[in-house]
Structure 1
Amino acid sequence: MTDKFDDLPAIRRAGLERMEQVYGFDMADAPGDFFRYTADHLFADIWNRPGLTDRDRRLLLIGALAATGAADVLGIQVPAAHANGELSAEQLREIVIFLSHYAGWQNGARLNTIVEDTIAKSRKQR
């Protein structure tokens, strides 16, 4: 059996494999410079650097996304962090309370909706 990324350059393969680990779902290669920088630089390089755990990176990312109101990307990151076991339901709820005071109540409310949806979907899947 061949790996679905075998025909790709090593850097792209590493990036796509890392994206799958981080996001928790299958990835496919895509065209364009934006995707190239995302896969080859952000995921093959930055997400693989030593010094921070995936959980550390995820906490920083959730904080930055909440502060900028990026609910669309939070909708990917929060469920992935929960599914990967990086953050429990209780920890996610605590993050909402903490970030609401620093990122603004409206951003915290959007994050809360994502967190509660994530927890509810996780419970249904058990």
Structure 2
Amino acid sequence: MAMLDPAQRRAQGAKLQAEYTATEVAPATTPVGESWRDFIFAEIWSRPGLELRARFLISLASAAGAGDPRAVNAYARGALQTGTLSQVELREAALHVAVYSGWSAGRLIDEEVGNAIGELGLDPVETEPLVGKPWDPQERMERGFAEFNNVMTFDGPRVGNGFAYLQDGILNFVFGEMWHREGLDQRSRRFLTLVGVADSAANTPIRSHFHAAMGSGNCTAEELHEFVLQYGVHAGWPKASVVQGVIFEVAAKIEKGLPWDG
């Protein structure tokens, strides 16, 4: 049985905390402060199961969902300083989080990304406008239907269904526009989405999106098990426990080649 050294854990945690938040971290003087350094950064952020990019995205979204601007700012600084995420990618992440966690959460990320850019003395980078030219509504809806199938691995609401949320929200904007934007790749968008549906505690979105994450090939079951641990930092262990159960269930279906069945 290996014996672990508390001093080594403290040193590892302090190093990673400073690097991944681009901040001079004050010495920890309370159990909570020590746990940030010695457990979250020393043990979770150092794990090999997810790339650093994914850990930043999960942490940004879940910290925003928890309403923690200090943490969002720290992760934005760290992502920029390490070169893990660009300004454009962070702005795009804010938009994606707005859809799945609410526009207040998206605005929180957007504002703290702006603050981080200023604090690091970076020149702001322009992002692409939401829409740069006129579009045909029918084509946009059809594109949204096709993209829904691509992302979710099953057919979504039908074009022309006439329901405001399903047609104008889901087909028109979410899949007809946002998922098509080039600022983030699909795997990155996937992690942001998983945080949003996990925070929602809504049974069908949680199961369908985690099934789609594996069914699309964006994430493996092993990576999603790692997601749960990273997500639990801001969401808390009870919400993470629900997600863990879903992953066990969905992974078994994927292994058997079963499609999403609702």
Tell me the TM-score normalized by structure 2. 0.43
What do residues 42-80 of structure 1 show as CA deviations (whole Å, max 9, x unaligned)? 111011011101111110111122233234311111110
Assess if the C-alpha contact under 8 Å between 1:71 and 1:110 holds in 2: no
Pairing 1:78–2:207 present: no
Report the number of matched residues: 119
Matches within 5 A, 1:43-122: 43-122=175-254
Letter in 2 for 1:73: P
Distance 1:88 1:21 in 2: 17
Cα drift, residue 31 of structure 1: 2.4
If asked which structure has higher relative contact order (CA below 8 Å, sep 6+), I would say: 1
Assess if the C-alpha contact under 8 Å between 1:78 and 1:115 holds in 2: yes
Distance 2:157 2:234 in 1: 36
Assess if the C-alpha contact under 8 Å between 1:65 and 1:73 holds in 2: yes
Structure 1 residue ranges without an equivalent (≥5): 1-7
Which sits farther off after the overlay, 30-39 or 108-117? Answer: 30-39
Distance 1:49 1:66 in 2: 23
Q: Which residue does 1:9 correspond to in 2?
A: 138
Letter in 1 for 2:154: F
**Do the aligned partners of residues 27 and 70 (structure 1) sit closer, same or farther apart at CA in structure 2, a change above 3 Å counting?**
closer
Distance 1:57 1:74 in 2: 15
Which sits farther off after the overlay, 78-87 or 30-39? Answer: 30-39
Letter in 2 for 1:55: R
Assess if the C-alpha contact under 8 Å between 2:197 and 2:209 holds in 1: no
Q: What is the alpha-carbon root mean square deviation over aligned residues?
A: 1.7
Distance 1:123 1:64 in 2: 25
Q: Which residue does 2:162 correspond to in 1?
A: 31
Q: 1:19 aligns with which of 148, 172, 187?
A: 148
Cα drift, residue 28 of structure 1: 4.3
Distance 2:182 2:204 in 1: 28
Distance 1:99 1:53 in 2: 20
Q: Which is higher, the Rg of structure 1 or of structure 2? A: 2
Divergent runs of 4+, >6 A:
none
